[in-house]
Amino acid sequence: MLTTAAAAAAVLSACAAVRRRLCRAGRRETFCWRGRICVTELWNGGAAFGLPIGRRVVLAGSLAALLGVLRCRRRDPAAVGLALGGGLSNLWERLRWGRVYDYLRFPKAPGFLKRYVFNLADLAVFLGAAGLLLGRVRRPRR
């Protein structure tokens, strides 16, 4: 449980620090690193990928997903901590401002992914989910 809590706290802290640094009054510049990672400001009021889903549905789905992820904490505590920290960070933003601040775009990503803007919390959720899925593939259920 300590590994899960530490990973979640680290993700929450990192997400808050990056958001505080990037989301300042008067900041409008876009930064691209070698055309692979661009920092672009976008407030996402919808669900994942900007899907137009109501706020209550998004909040209820987020809470259900977080509770489901918590059930896996014994299998891979670090992966659960990443997913939990990222999910809580996005949930906090939705509860506080009614939207999520996204800022990372990957122009060289494959297919449709190059059009979307993400944030650090989204990446943590993705990495945590990937860790849980890969751990399940490596260790089949008995």
- Tell me, what's the pLDDT at 25? 64
Residue 142, pLDDT above cutoff 70: no
Q: What is the dihedral of CA 126, 119, 11, 108, to 10 degrees?
A: 60
Three-state SS letters, the chain: CHHHHHHHHHHHHHHHHHHHHHCCCCCCCCEEECCCEEEEEEEECCCHHHCCCCHHHHHHHHHHHHHHHHCCCCCCHHHHHHHHHHHHHHHHHHHHHCCEEEEEECCCCCHHHHHCEECHHHHHHHHHHHHHHHHHHHCCCC
- Tell me, what's the pLDDT at 6? 93
pLDDT tens figures, 71-107 = 777 788 899 999 999 989 998 998 888 889 999 999 9
Average pLDDT over residues 42-67: 77
In this structure, the number of other CB atoms found within 10 A of the CB of residue 119 comes to 23
Q: What amino acid is encoded at 42 in this protein? A: L
- Tell me, what's the pLDDT at 85? 93
Residue 134, pLDDT above cutoff 60: yes
Residues 86 and 122: beta-carbon distance below 8 Å: yes
pLDDT tens figures, 2-42 = 888 999 999 999 999 998 888 876 666 677 888 888 888 88
- Tell me, what's the pLDDT at 9? 94
Residues 86 and 78: beta-carbon distance below 8 Å: no
- Tell me, what's the pLDDT at 16? 93
Cα–Cα distance measured from residue 101 to residue 136, given in angstroms and rounded to the nearest whole number: 32
Decide which of 49 and 135 is more confident.
Answer: 135
What residues act catalytically?
102, 122
